[in-house]
Structure 1
């Protein structure tokens, strides 16, 4: 594989990264966690600048397109670990008369990760708080929660949520996944372990949640990396800590089969998918070498490759585009929005 780095712009404390497809082209989105710093969109084959989605919102942790709607998304804004009481909120963005407009739809302290699951004609909403309340950045005395609800059809509708699970200290890790039958699910990692959550098939039925792994899980991603029909799980352990493992289901339980050997500190980002048709985990570290690397399983063994160093990837987003694959990286230390173009 040939990997080419392309810097799109300087963004101070670049943190969140996502994409949306509309007007027959992919749009690549990068946002900052810093107060009053822009969120930008780039588009197309050559990553041309598209627009500023906002200029002064800051604290963006996640941005998710709304299924079955064009030019509409939800995003977390105003999340600041050091600020108490928390200002974190979810906003609904949509194009109105050619301009992006925003409406606050939910405010819960320390909202950190969320997603939208499309099941039938329903957009289920799920959100995780990293803590309930914090007296300071290092205060972890009050656990986070998972909340669920149904997204209204318009931002003017009321978004009602209820607690699905409480007691999730340092509730940081999240990954969307799909079961063998194609049904959507989510994995949430906290100090108490890894939990799998599924929305109901029929509106009004109960959500399901089950614990799938013990341990202090700071981040998570899943893929069948060795092509044996069963997905492996890559984890960062613990929250913002220094271990990255791959776990494989063996004799009915998950066991560690791979550990990233480089000395690391503040491991933070994980994604999985395929690069040029080969299953892959991609991870980012935010201190020491501050590297971006991937892991593949080739000829019966795990193969690790460092893509870049000194960049501190805060979050990653993988896109497959036919003749090329793209790793979008919010390079926090380097204060840059970057795409790594992967070709044969």
Structure 2
């Protein structure tokens, strides 16, 4: 479900055994080490129900953040035991997380989305959107609530070129709407008409400007580009009836491409981006 590269190396950490569904008590994190020809795997540890995780470089090493979608489940649809935000220090030499503990002041139902913002992280859940500040010499880890709207996933981009990030959020758990916030989490845009299962979400530079890329896995199943012109939110259909699950932008040989895992049409699609 999550793959994170270890800074300065080709090696990475990844979740295993997250399925079936969200009933993932056997989930664990493994390290994959490149040996020159293939990959050697080692087990970092068991992390039940961890849906997203991250390792964050700082001057003394690597912090670990893990977000569990639940703490325990009787079945796939049981959400009565909310998830936790787990933090600690990742020791790459020992290949384990040290000092692992939960932030006890907040339990998050359907703790699903995560976005590393550089100086802090955003975490989303049925309880809303939270900002996670990293520890300093004077302060410990801190969670601050930014919005009380149920949110599945979130992306950031400065689509109106005002020097401040806007945030694209999937509203509801794999929800039917998207909402765009300004940097103060005031609503700029709320989507209509309703279409189910928002999933693919990305934000960042395409050419000289920043945009969001978004797609629903059900209903219209469109892959869309979201930007801003003269202060208004604009949308442009990239492809129809493809049902994307994930999308990202990459460059090669001075050319831009959009890579989309179009799950519902059983394809991995590469779109050549021009005129940006």
> Retained in 2: the 8 A contact 1:82–1:136?
no
Q: Are 1:315 and 2:252 an aligned pair?
A: no
Q: Which runs of 5+ in 1 are unaligned?
A: 1-60, 179-183
The corresponding residue for 1:173 is 113
The 5 Å alignment of 1:57-136 reads 61-68=1-8, 70-82=9-21, 84=23, 86-136=25-75
The superposition leaves residues 239-263 of structure 1 with CA deviations (integer Å, 9 ceiling, x where unpaired) of 11101011124xxx53221123343
Aligned residues: 273
How far off is 1:147 after superposition?
0.6
Match 1:200 to one of 128, 132, 135: 135
Match 2:258 to one of 324, 327, 331: 327
The corresponding residue for 1:33 is none
Match 2:123 to one of 188, 211, 230: 188
Q: Are 1:340 and 2:275 an aligned pair?
A: no
The corresponding residue for 2:216 is 285
The superposition leaves residues 62-104 of structure 1 with CA deviations (integer Å, 9 ceiling, x where unpaired) of 1111112x22001112111447562211111111252211112
Q: Are 1:145 and 2:60 an aligned pair?
A: no
Runs of 4+ in structure 1 deviating by more than 3 angstroms, as ranges, are: 81-85
The corresponding residue for 1:224 is 158
CA distance in 1, matches of 2:181, 2:23: 37
Of the structure 1 ranges 323-332 and 291-300, higher mean CA displacement relative to structure 2 is found in: 323-332
> Retained in 2: the 8 A contact 1:219–1:269?
no
> Retained in 1: the 8 A contact 2:114–2:122?
yes
How far off is 1:343 after superposition?
2.7
Task: Give the TM-score normalised by the residue count of structure 1.
Answer: 0.74
Q: Which runs of 5+ in 2 are unaligned?
A: none
Task: Give the TM-score normalised by the residue count of structure 2.
Answer: 0.91
SS of the equivalent of 1:333 reads helix
The 5 Å alignment of 1:153-164 reads 153-154=92-93, 156-160=94-98, 161-164=100-103
Give the aligned CA root-mean-square deviation in angstroms: 2.1
How far off is 1:273 after superposition?
0.1
The corresponding residue for 2:168 is 234
How far off is 1:336 after superposition?
2.7
